[in-house]
Structure 1
Amino acid sequence: MTQTEHTKVWSPLEIPAVGRSGPQGIVACLGDLGTELGDLLTEHKALVFRGFGITPETLDPVFDHLLPNRLAYVHGNSPRTKVGSNVYTSTEYPKEFTISMHNEMSYAHAWPARLAFYCQVQPGGGGATPVLDAALWLDSLDPEVREAFAGGVRYVQNLHDGYGFGKSWQDTFETTDRAQVEAFLTDAGATWEWKRDGSVRIRSVRPSTIRHPVTGVEVWFNQADQWHAAGLGDDTAAALAQIMPEEDLPQHVTFADGSPIPAEYILQVRDRGLDNAVDVDWRAGDLMVIDNVALAHGRRPFTGDRRVLVAMSD
């Protein structure tokens, strides 16, 4: 079976409302399946709830059930706005761009086990959330690329002090206390240096693959293609190179030993991830929960308005 055929076979488990509605309807439908939510996610990787009429006012009880311990987006690198109790906009990246596949916070020392997405405003056109079997992603890469990444990757973050390119360290860590940042980074096994302008440079070495904690399946689990200038496209990379050295960009990545990652490897990782993904289209009120290790996710470009909220849990 080819990778493309495998992708067409797999799709998220869709759970229709069948006359039920609201948070109680979702709980009842899950009860009818007779399997714990964690077991369902291990088996199906993603669950999509359609037609339950979930509103922003009824969202909290749903998230409380699906994500028992909601996490703050501390050390997150995507532009987001916090809109509730550890509920965030899914991203504020411009609508005309694709967001490539990634497992949430795979660059960090700890990551959420589950993600839940809620569509508050249906996109005018496009705007699907593609999801991808991370084991398939790993298998889709050439042996040369998998071998090159075997030693892991080194992420470099440059976070400004409130004014500058990219995110500030205050927004990233949701604090204005440097001591809290340093305690977090110590626990994360990262190294850092504060600059005279108040910014901080952080370096972290992470694996490129991990094994699923339940199934033991090895999955592609890094964000090298999103942190590398080549993943942004030739024009954007060239423009950035005119502004600042690569090591001073808000995000930069190398192999674990500090050697550069070839652009062609980055493009293969990015493109094969997007090519093998399954699109989940949104209607207002839809909700999806995914296993963040088994599945990567992204975003297709869209027109009109689109508002998708996200929450995370361990």
Structure 2
Amino acid sequence: MDDHQAWRPTEIDPATAGVAASPEGLVDHLSALPDLAALLSAEKALVFRGFQVTEETLDQVMDQLLPNRLAYVHGNSPRTKVGKNVYTSTEYPPEFTISMHNELSYAHQWPARLMFFCAKAAETGGATPVVDGVRWLAALDPEVRAAYAHGVRYTQNLHDGFGFGKSWQETFETSDRDEVEAFLGSTKASWEWKPDGGLRVTQDRPSTTRHPVTGVEVWFNQSDQWHPAALGDDTAKSLAEVLPVDELPQSVSFADGSPIPDEYVIQVRDRGLASAVNVDWRQGDVLLIDNVLVGHGRRPFTGRRRVLVAMSD
């Protein structure tokens, strides 16, 4: 079994760190690390457990883990801002699985690090699965990898306050069209304002990328999450009855505009999930991942669950 097959996140607790079982102990441990960036590149994901972190003490931990906290601008998933560039994790109904993905991999720039914090664990389920991007890429059939070789094209239809999906104001955290255009102008995206006040954004992006430190090639796109086939037969059928493909809140094709076969995105989704390992939450846990090397998702759950997320470059 190679390293990618055997990989799991590295767990750090007060005993292994040699510090007090408190948020201050975790801060002391992180402050003493000679190079957190190198450690994260080597281990890919770190779970800090048993430090009794709370929402009230989270900021001091984030100051160590995320030196330049970023806003979730141009994000496509529903979430609520609860602090300074701190958000709830994706707010999809608890009975659904969220498939594996790298945050903002469809964007021109993406965060280098993601941090998750468990304020309240679910009664059952609710794990955050994480997947080694090298393993995910290797799990795909050669035919699928070859078909994706020239990249993918993402299309967003963002409404003006009423409609399916997210509004452009919510997506870009502004109601100023000039700010939106200035942002998009720096991203190599194309866009158009629609007569109804909505905004259509189109972006061509690669399907894989290489890590800037390790150089490994990883699967790095969200085609399965943007493709109707991966939503389930009933949901896809219902959407198709209401909207044509080019009017869906989000859609994807190959970069040349040709359609991605349903079976390809289903394979991408299912093999990503099958290759993942679960981080089972306990209250107060903190998970830090390298957003290029590791994809993440969510398992279904019951009861109340509160997991917060923040990111940095």
> Common fold, TM-score beyond 0.5?
yes
1:21 CA displacement: 3.0
* Corresponding residue SS for 1:24: helix
The correspondence of residues 137-286 of structure 1 with structure 2, limited to 5 A, is 137-286=136-285
Which amino acid letter does the alignment assign opposite residue 47 of structure 1?
A: L
Instruction: Give the C-alpha shift of residue 36 in structure 1.
Output: 1.2
Structure 1 residue aligned with 2:298: 299
SS of the equivalent of 2:288 reads strand
Which piece of structure 1 moves more, 34-43 or 250-259?
Answer: 34-43
The DSSP-based 3-state class of the residue aligned with 1:38 is: helix
CA distance in 2, matches of 1:6, 1:66: 24
SS of equivalent to 1:257: coil
Q: How does 1:79-94 map to 2 (within 5 A)?
A: 79-94=78-93
What code does the residue aligned with 1:56 have? E
CA RMSD of aligned residues (A): 1.3
Gaps of 5+ in 2: none
- The DSSP-based 3-state class of the residue aligned with 1:110 is coil
TM-score, reference length from structure 1: 0.96
Question: Secondary structure in 1 aligned to 2:200?
Answer: strand
In the alignment, is the contact (CA less than 8 A) between 1:22 and 1:58 conserved in 2? no
The Cα offsets for residues 231-271 of structure 1, whole Å up to 9 and x where unpaired, read as 11111111111111011110000000000000000000000
Output aligned runs, 1:33-48, within 5 Å.
Answer: 34-48=33-47
Aligned-partner Cα distance in 1 for 2:25–2:89: 24
1:17 aligns with 2:14: yes
CA distance in 1, matches of 2:200, 2:4: 41
Q: Distance in 2 between matches of 1:31 and 1:178?
A: 41
Q: Give the SS at the match of 1:267.
A: helix
Query: What secondary structure, in the 3-state scheme, does the structure 2 residue paired with 1:279 have?
Result: strand
**Counterpart Cα distance in 1 of 2:254 and 2:4:** 30
Q: Which secondary structure does the structure 1 equivalent of 2:146 belong to?
A: helix
Number of residue pairs aligned between Structure 1 and Structure 2: 310
Instruction: Find the counterpart in structure 1 of residue 125 from structure 2.
Output: 126
| Local SS of the residue matching 1:74 | coil
Report how far residue 196 of structure 1 moved: 1.1
Change in CA separation of 1:31 and 1:186 when aligned onto 2, cut-off 3 Å: closer
CA distance in 2, matches of 1:165, 1:299: 23
| AA partner of residue 177 (structure 1) | D
Between the aligned partners of 1:306 and 1:147, the Cα distance in structure 2 is: 39
Q: Given the alignment of the two structures, is residue 29 of structure 1 paired with residue 25 of structure 2, yes or no?
A: no
Question: Which amino acid counterpart does residue 209 of structure 1 have in structure 2?
Answer: T
1:74-113 matches, cutoff 5 A: 74-113=73-112
User: Residues of 2 paired with 1:214 and 1:77: CA distance?
Assistant: 28
TM-score under structure 2 length normalisation: 0.97
CA drift at 1:6: 4.8
Q: Deviation of residue 31 (structure 1)? A: 5.7
Q: State the distance in 1 between where 2:131 and 2:210 align.
A: 16
Shift of 1:179: 0.6
Label 1:6 to 1:214 Cα distance change in 2 as closer, same or farther (>3 A): closer
Runs of 4+ in 1 over 2 A off after TM superposition: 21-24, 27-32
Give the AA of the match of 1:200.
L
Measure the CA separation in 1 of the matches of 2:35 and 2:103: 23
Cα distance in structure 1, aligned partners of 2:22 and 2:245: 49
Is the Cα contact below 8 Å between 1:49 and 1:288 reproduced in 2?
A: yes
State the shift of 1:105 in Å: 0.2
- The offset of 1:16, in angstroms, is 0.8
